[in-house]
A and B are shown apart, each in its own frame.
Chain A
Amino acid sequence: MKRVYIAGAGIISPLGRGLVATEKALRENRSAVRPLDLFPLVQGRPLPAGQVSGLDEPGPLPRTHRLACSAALQAVADFGKPPDALILGTTTGGILTTEQLLREQEQEKEPYRYHGLHTVAEYLARELACTGPVLTVSTACSSGAAAITLALEMLRSGRAKNILAGGVDSLCRLTYFGFHSLQLVDKGGCRPLDVQRRGMAVAEGAAMLLLTTEKPASPLAELAGAGLTCDAHHPAAPHPEGRGALLAMQAALSGAGLDPDDIDYINLHGTGTPENDLAEAKAVHSLFTPPPPVSSIKGATGHSLAAAGAIEAVVSAIAVAKGLMPANTGFQEPDPALDLVPLQEPANRPTHAVLSNSFGFGGNNGSLIITRPEKFPLPPDRRPGSGLAIFGCSCLTGAGDTGATMTGIRSGIPIAGTAPIDTISKDLPPGLIRRLKRLPRMALSLAVSAHKDSGLKQKPMSVFMGTGWGALSETYDFLTRLGESDEQFPSPTDFVGSVHNSPASQAAILFGATGANITTSGGDYSFEQALISADLLLRGTDKTALVLGADEGHATLSPLLDASISPATSLADGGGGLYLGRLREGSKCRVRVPFYQNGLTDDAVPALIDSLGGQRKLQKECALVLAGIPAATREKGERQLERFMDLSALPVPVVRYRQYTGEFTSASAVAAVMAASYLETGLVPGALVQGDDLILAGKQNKILVLGMGHGLSVMEFSRP
């Protein structure tokens, strides 16, 4: 097992910019929560919020991007080279800008180009010249912690040596009015753990950690462990006993090889909502007897959602580096129901190990353990994974379900389009889906069908999902009703449904999947990123997982947001689902993602071929190439494909699968299911390869699914 050091850190929050300003504000025990003035309100008095001051405002770049950039530049300031990889948690992306554009009824695409969650990390990657893997994670308020956890696993797996990881969110109408509609905002300011607490203060900010396995001269701290779990209980409320929270803390301790006694201070999630604080206190009490000093800093910062886990990781690093346990700002009166009195003043005391909690919608929980460098012995390594075995698969396209899709391809009937809502909801219990719109229904349908296809009784422990744009219907409907009602009547249902991880959390609830629950949103590479996340987090476990990829075609938003869709393009959507695990027995085929990078470099295509074992091996084993070239990057993609075919000299058919699926970001999930299904049957239909049926015999047992355009990726499917 490798040690993972925090070599640098950057932070921008309502408390200020930089480690020095943050430490000073924490020592002063002051709250930065104040009435919102970032955007004008149609009516009423502004609610208290955690707003960042003094962020320069020029140009078209959304606020989220600028916050992230500020934190990232601080984190890498003393690091002489670009990081190998970048992993960012965010839920808002460019939505603050998009809200304004939609109000102005902007019809041009160009101003919306920074809407997508993935554009934040990709912008940072460009600024920092990072050409490696760039992952975007969106698991609501645990996003920052989830991003840092994935970075830890990627570093320990050896896939990267240096990773910039963190979280960011800007204030926006969606979250400001959304949490208000759930009656989760305390009009009197945020008072975590207090008996009078009435809720949170929605906030913004960013924090980034430069994580490395190459020991720096003076590391700030060590990232010793991390744990991710899911309540699988409710879309918005925590499990009342804090079941998932407890499991996350236990997983983090076990990952770090530490006991509860080793923890000197717990940095609580502590949002100030009655339910969160109660559930978290119960979880803390069931693991720590008695608990060490605890506090939540959200009375000072507010709740910066996807940034919170990263901001509090930086605060935890300050705690161990400076021996400073921050106070629970705003706390006055203990709540007997919690039986947990937090630090009321900052405490100066040696701090060796900190546990930091982040919980979010969808019951997504993340706990991080940050320690003094090399203070504790390393736990033994877990056995590394080498690809995943697929037991079941399913897809949805304009043609309908897996059967209809495969029949369509075999018969040369077009499969692109948007299937009717009844088709994508088939076999789903009506009570379960009554509040769900298009994307979560697709995700549930894919999940149920992939599991059913496996014939296995065992249920998945984890759910991973890639989605380029998330729940567009819910987001659009929320903003529309907000505008039409003059900001009086935003829909709580649409708000809960609008978060990117809502479909994956619905699947977790359906299957009782209490393991890690990750939603990635990496544009055209969203599904590949979900698969990479699954591969990283399923290390050393025999459990199974669902990996889904889906996007919905939305008549208004898809043509505005997706560069590959023009108003003239006929709308297409769908996705694919794989039910998989580590054990090989009984599997249809195997999958791995040996290569993914965000930027385009000269050596990318040769490196991709190397990752597959080189030209000779490929020629011997590869039977078919499914190439994903989004319309928006056709020229770039075709050049990459040409180079790949030149260098590999593969004499096999190449299928540009978007010609069949239509244009949508997670079309690669459909291609993945095509590959798995052809390997299972041993036959690629002639209609797909413009010739005779292709029999997969002997050693010719590999199908590649390439992702080309802004970056380069390959999913390799092979028979067991």
Chain B
Amino acid sequence: MSVRERYGHTTATNHDNHSGSKNMNELTEELKAKLIDILNLPDVTPNDFDEHAQLVGGELGIDSIDVLEMVVMVEKDYGIIINSQEVGEKVFSSLAALAHYIKENQPGSSS
């Protein structure tokens, strides 16, 4: 059983943060708050978090360990598994890209 198979079937019901009903702005704001929290970003507020800025290796000092922490968050809170480096690089290029990926891959989303 792959990791995806293992958790995939539970995602639609188990995740209270499920973003299917959220619009892009709400999801972006929600992700800003989450990243500031799980990555302990100092002196960053949702207001000055530029969703189009380079996320990994950018000014915030986000590195490979943070990426893994975000992978866990995306799986836990949105039921989406990112287990390839190629996908990861695309998804975590910016917060906007992350929001877009979540929106597109959300179980029950229309896309």
Contact A430 B76 (CB under 8 A): no
Q: Is B104 an interface residue (CB 8 A)?
A: no
Instruction: Tell me, yes or no, whether B68 is within 8 Å of chain A by CB.
Output: yes
Q: Which residues of A contact B83 (CB under 8 A)?
A: 183
Q: A237-B64, A434-B41 are in contact. Are A491 and B76 (CB under 8 A)?
A: no
Contacts of A492 in B (CB 8 A): 65, 68-69, 72
A-B CB pair tally, cutoff 8 Å: 49
Chain B residues contacting A43 (CB-CB under 8 Å) are: 6
Task: Decide if the interface of chain B is mainly helix, strand, loop or mixed.
Answer: helix
A706 interface residue (CB < 8 Å to B): no
A467-B65 Cα distance, complex, nearest whole Å: 24
Chain A residues whose C-beta falls within 8 Å of the C-beta of B41 in the assembled complex: 434
Give A580 to B41 CA distance when docked, in angstroms: 34
Q: Please name the 9 residue pairs, one residue from A and one from B, whose CB atoms are nearest each other, closest first.
A: A430-B42, A492-B68, A434-B40, A431-B61, A489-B76, A489-B72, A434-B42, A493-B69, A44-B6
Instruction: Specify which chain B residues have a CB less than 8 angstroms from the CB of A431 in the assembled complex.
Output: 42, 61
- Min CB distance B8 to A, Å, is 12
Binary contact readout B60-102 vs A (1 if CB under 8 angstroms, 0 otherwise): 0101111011011001100000010000000000000000000
Residues of B contacting A236 in the complex (Cβ-Cβ under 8 angstroms) = 64-65
Contact A45 B42 (CB under 8 A): no
Q: Name the residue on B nearest A430 (C-beta).
A: B42
Question: Chain A: residues with CB nearer than 8 A to chain B?
Answer: 43-45, 181-183, 234-237, 430-431, 434-435, 485, 488-493, 496
Whole-angstrom distance between the alpha carbons of A400 and B77 in the complex? 39
CA distance A100 to B71 in the complex (A): 28
Taken together as a complex, chains A and B put the C-alpha atoms of A664 and B69 apart, in Å, by: 32
Residues of A within 8 A of B69 (CB): 491-493
Q: Give Cα A430–Cα B40 distance, bound, in whole angstroms.
A: 10
Residue from the set A44, A434, A489 with the largest chain B CB neighbour count within 10 Å: A434
Question: Using Cβ atoms and an 8 Å threshold, which residues of chain A touch B40?
Answer: 434-435
Docked Cα-Cα span, A435 to B42, in Å, equals 10
B16 neighbours in A (Cβ, 8 Å)? none
Least distance between B35 CB and chain A CB atoms (Å): 12
Tell me the bound Cα distance from A488 to B40 in angstroms: 22
Q: Does B48 contact A (CB under 8 A)?
A: no
Output the nearest chain B residue to A431 by Cβ-Cβ distance: B61
Given contacts A234-B63, A431-B42, A434-B42, contact A182 B68 (CB under 8 A): yes
In contact, B42 and A181 (Cβ under 8 angstroms): no
- Nearest Cβ distance between residue A554 and chain B, in whole angstroms? 19
5 sampled A-B residue pairs with Cβ under 8 A: A44-B3, A236-B65, A430-B43, A488-B7, A489-B76
Could you tell me the distance between the alpha carbons of A491 and B7 in the complex, rounded to whole angstroms? 17
Please tell me if the beta carbons of B72 and A181 are within 8 angstroms of each other in the complex: yes
Most chain B CB within 10 A, of A181, A234, A431, is at A431
> Which B residues are within 8 Å of any A CB, using their own CB?
1, 3, 6-7, 39-43, 61, 63-66, 68-69, 71-72, 75-76, 83
- CB-defined contacts of A489 to chain B, threshold 8 Å: 72, 75-76
In the assembled complex, the CB of A448 is this many whole angstroms from the nearest CB of chain B, namely: 17
A430 to chain B, nearest CB (A): 3
Tell me the smallest distance from the CB of B31 to a CB of chain A, in Å.
18
Question: B39 to A434, Cβ gap below 8 A?
Answer: yes
| A485-B76, A489-B76 known; A435+B65 contact, CB < 8 A | yes
Task: Say which residue of A181, A430, A488 sits within 8 Å of B68 (CB atoms).
Answer: A181
Contacts of B7 in A (CB 8 A): 488
CB-based nearest A residue for B40: A434
Task: A317 to B68: give the CA distance in the assembly, Å.
Answer: 39
Contact of B65 among A45, A430, A485, A496 (CB under 8 A): A496
Q: Which residue of A lies closest to B10 (CB)?
A: A488
Residues on A with C-beta less than 8 A from B63 are 234
In the complex, which residue of chain A has the Cβ closest to the Cβ of B61?
A431
Whole-angstrom CA separation of A496 from B68 in the bound complex: 11
CB-CB under 8 A from A44, the residues of chain B are 1, 3, 6
Determine the chain B residues whose CB is within 8 A of the CB of A45 once the complex forms: 1
Q: How far is the CA of A63 from the CA of B40 in the complex (A)?
A: 36
Residues of A within 8 A of B1 (CB): 44-45
A206 to B72, CA, bound (A): 33
Of all chain A residues, which has the CB nearest B73?
A: A489
- Point out which of B1, B40, B68, B71 has the most chain A C-beta atoms below 10 A from its C-beta: B68
Determine the distance from Cα of A45 to Cα of B66 in the docked complex, in whole angstroms. 26
Q: Besides the contacts A183-B68, A431-B61, what 14 more A-B pairs have beta carbons closer than 8 Å? A: A44-B6, A45-B1, A182-B68, A236-B64, A237-B64, A434-B61, A435-B40, A435-B65, A485-B76, A488-B7, A488-B76, A492-B65, A493-B65, A493-B69
Q: Which residue of A lies closest to B43 (CB)?
A: A430
* CA distance in complex: A493, B3 (Å): 21
**Complex interface: chain A residues within 8 A of B75 (CB):** 489
A435 vs B61: C-alpha distance when bound (angstroms): 11
Chain B min CB distance to A422 (Å): 13
Q: Which residue of A lies closest to B39 (CB)?
A: A434
> Which of A43, A235, A493 has the most chain B CB within a 10 Å cutoff?
A493
In the complex, the chain B residue whose C-beta lies closest to that of A182 is: B68
Min distance, Cβ A503 to any Cβ of chain B, angstroms: 16
CA distance A45 to B7 in the complex (A): 12
Q: Closest residue of chain A to B6, judged by CB?
A: A44
Distance in Å: Cβ of A493 to nearest Cβ of chain B: 5
Given the complex of chains A and B, what is the CA–CA distance between A485 and B7 in angstroms? 12
A431 to chain B, nearest CB (A): 5
CB distance from A85 to the nearest CB of B (A): 37
B43 contact set on A, CB distance < 8 A = 430
| Shortest Cβ distance from residue B43 to the other chain A in the assembled complex, whole angstroms | 6
Closest partner residue, chain A, to B72 (CB atom): A489
B7 (CB) vs chain A CBs: closest residue = A488
Q: Could you tell me the distance between the alpha carbons of A44 and B4 in the complex, rounded to whole angstroms?
A: 11
A234 to B67, CA, bound (A): 14
How far does the alpha carbon of A427 sit from the alpha carbon of B75 in the complex, in Å? 36
How long is the Cα–Cα vector from A235 to B61 in the complex, in angstroms? 14
Q: In the bound complex, how far is the Cα of B9 from the Cα of A43, in angstroms?
A: 14
Chain A residue numbers with a CB within 8 Å of B3 are 44
Interfacial chain B residues near A488, Cβ < 8 Å:
7, 76
In the complex, A236 Cα to B68 Cα: how many Å?
12
Nearest B residue to A181 via CB reads B68
8 Å CB contact of A235 from B42, B65, B68, B71: B65
Most buried by A among B1, B6, B40: B40
Tell me which residues across on chain B come within 8 A of A181, comparing CB atoms: 68, 72
Q: Which residues of A contact B76 (CB under 8 A)?
A: 485, 488-489
A613 to chain B, nearest CB (A): 50
Query: Please, how many angstroms separate the alpha-carbon atoms of A236 and B65 in the complex?
Result: 8
Question: A182: shortest Cβ distance to chain B, in Å?
Answer: 6
B64: min CB distance to chain A, Å: 6
Chain A residues whose C-beta falls within 8 Å of the C-beta of B64 in the assembled complex: 234, 236-237
Closest CB-CB distance, A215 to chain B, in whole Å? 48
Which residues of the other chain, A, contact B71 by a CB distance below 8 angstroms? 183
Which residues from B are CB-within-8-Å of A237? 64
Identity of the chain B residue whose Cβ is nearest the Cβ of A44 in the assembled complex: B6
Closest Cβ of chain A to B36, distance in Å, is 10
